[in-house]
Structure 1
């Protein structure tokens, strides 16, 4: 009697089918290695499966230029490690990831998480609380609120917060039901034809592909980092005043990073000119935000017929919270993941995943969606759009509980690639690539660099 499929195999099959991939490709990938990240959910399986889906998409694209379809392999351990920080600075340190008042707080009746890394989100939380920006003062103010009332007050001011809900409560919530009804990947093929990106080199399957990156922390930058690993020319565009000092060394690998003010006519026109020469756009703006800048879907397709348009939001594309600001850690609170971790491990506070798995998994699925869009355009000439959300990825993860976690040893010397990466911040080591496509090694042509260091040109 054959063995039952593993959680990784089930995740991979669900993702690949949602991406529109052919069933035969599922037989061309191997997931090797062992070990489980400590979690109530099958996080290591999700890591292997999402990276596997992206690798399969690259193999599929390479197959159009080879006599035999290539196979792919994903290392489960390395995939899990890449779901954390892949970078190990040599003689320098990264700044803290979290703002001092960000985190989980007990309210009068339940737990709530405040996300205050962005200055405007910090200001919104403090305005709702009516206190100074010191952790003790915030904790005291939060205790005077019901959690759901505080969540609503912060969100109404343009901030980011999430009450801790159970899996059952989320399943009964109007928005939880809306997310559950959405497909993992929302797909819309546009009969708007345009030029493909040229001949395919099976050793660098994305060479010659131009990718405009309008994403920030963390899923979108993970997606475009993966695309750069197979040769894509990734141009990241940030506003004049934006920085991500704690994660830029992690996610700018392989990219050129420029700045444009899309709210200004000159910046918008320059962006449209860049878009006119792009093959793919990956964006993580909230629904309607690009429309407000005069860069909605109609304008994007007019600028570049045949565009492969891939986007992400936090809470999904339908339901009462569609368009709500959010991040991985907040979705974990809303969707029952942090509460399940607390309950499973007998903790007295929210217990999130050991890594930001929703961000990373969504990132690799975005990359897979982009590459599949390119393959379909090469066959038909038609552009397409694909949309994903952190909340729907959370629903996928929540479908596979981890019954027991095996040992997962800390990263060691054997996990790192031998090369020294000359980042803009100093020398660093990276984990070895987590995936391999036969005949097409995963490698980056550029080290990580500072935001805004490049001009906005192809």
Structure 2
């Protein structure tokens, strides 16, 4: 069955919805996560088929529903070691005076902003006591204005009429514009379609890394660049699969120059920076195309590219609160606190859609020689969620992976959830700690 997400993505990316979906993800919620998850992975498969057909290589594709469900949870599973919690001790949902609010404090600066606004110690009980004295909307605004990240819980109906909710829904699921012709020539290979393609990855948890990981599975050379002080230990082993990881400080002249050199050698740029965020380091919209004519760019933001929250920081868990996902989950479950999706489905689905957009951009460059820019947002992806129908998903059977070595110990890696006939989908590199390599493209 072709899901609405697969159908809409195919229309926007000029690809036929050909990938067959087999089985259910087993993900159950108040919303049809199954259709969103399988549809986004199918969109990626459709884009790969369209790329190969453009090159004169006929093929077909299939998506494995149970494996999609597993990859939306955890595809790399430690053996004899464990991952730390992905959440800071203060992060989470709190009861405000008139509803609920979620504080996202994983980044030190976001934690400092929330604690500074509340004027209390970084203790969960103390934070809960102070949050209870605030109206949820007022605290959300105060934390955001202080440079933090927070979201008051809204109902789906409230989000529909909210200026940002309305703006996000008006945007295409994937918005694309073409740019100047490329200065290099590239042709895909049947077995490893993106071999020879260089992807500059300027993303953090979680959607962007999902996208560049999918591109690495197609054979692309992915160089992930992080600032000196960034880490995300709970997801690094899984999200660096197939990538080289380096650090640069773009706040320094030397770091900016090196980043521009890397961009000049890239075919694809994937980033999660809000509109205008790259301007101060000399990589604004026009600058990026000047540095690399014909660049295929894919950009992500949390709440959308139009509307009053265009520049607002956001994450999957916050968008679930803002857009009514957690509120409907709470209401239907008869719970006394927010009930989000069972996985960070907005991140994962948007990541696969971003990868599809990148592949479609390379297809267009192959077809006409021009570069392109695609924009997506978590809030727009959230608008694709439909209310779940009872009994639409069933628990998947047990899945087994292959054992691989990692710097942290051995791990089981599940098979990829998508198959394209004739294509060898795999990772040439294992996971690595952030900053393991040198900031240069491999020879």
Offset of residue 66 of structure 1: 4.3
1:416 aligns with 2:400: yes
1:213 aligns with 2:207: no
Task: Answer yes or no: is the 8 Å Cα contact 1:45–1:76 preserved in 2.
Answer: no
1:281 aligns with 2:269: yes
1:233 aligns with 2:221: yes
2:130 to 141, 145, 170: 141
Report the secondary structure of 1:113's partner residue.
Answer: strand
1:117 to 98, 102, 106: 106
Offset of residue 197 of structure 1: 5.0
Closer/same/farther in 2, CA of residues 261 and 83 from structure 1, 3 Å limit = same
- Number of the residue aligned with 2:424: 441
* Whole-angstrom distance in 1 between the partners of 2:70 and 2:391: 16
Closer/same/farther in 2, CA of residues 367 and 407 from structure 1, 3 Å limit = closer
- Number of the residue aligned with 1:252: 240
**Can you list the C-alpha shifts for 1:281-329, whole angstroms capped at 9, x where unaligned?**
0000122111122111111111110000110000001111111000000
Unaligned runs of 5+ in 2: none
> RMSD over aligned Cα, in angstroms?
1.3
* Whole-angstrom distance in 2 between the partners of 1:436 and 1:159: 40
Structure 1 residue ranges (4+ consecutive) displaced by more than 6 angstroms after TM superposition: none
After superposition, residues 112-191 of structure 1 pair within 5 angstroms as 112-190=101-179
* Whole-angstrom distance in 1 between the partners of 2:24 and 2:303: 32
Task: Answer yes or no: is the 8 Å Cα contact 1:275–1:303 preserved in 2.
Answer: yes
- Number of the residue aligned with 1:92: 81
1:36 aligns with 2:26: yes
Report the secondary structure of 2:314's partner residue.
Answer: coil
TM-score, normalising length from structure 2? 0.97
Report the secondary structure of 2:384's partner residue.
Answer: helix
After superposition, residues 10-409 of structure 1 pair within 5 angstroms as 10-19=4-13, 21-22=14-15, 25-26=16-17, 28-34=18-24, 36-67=26-57, 69-190=58-179, 192-397=180-385, 400-406=386-392, 408-409=394-395
1:428 aligns with 2:411: yes
* Whole-angstrom distance in 1 between the partners of 2:155 and 2:161: 10
**Can you list the C-alpha shifts for 1:14-44, whole angstroms capped at 9, x where unaligned?**
122122x23xx22x32110135312011111
* Whole-angstrom distance in 1 between the partners of 2:174 and 2:207: 15
Offset of residue 194 of structure 1: 1.5
* Whole-angstrom distance in 2 between the partners of 1:41 and 1:166: 14
* Whole-angstrom distance in 1 between the partners of 2:5 and 2:257: 41
* Whole-angstrom distance in 2 between the partners of 1:432 and 1:187: 31
Closer/same/farther in 2, CA of residues 187 and 406 from structure 1, 3 Å limit = closer
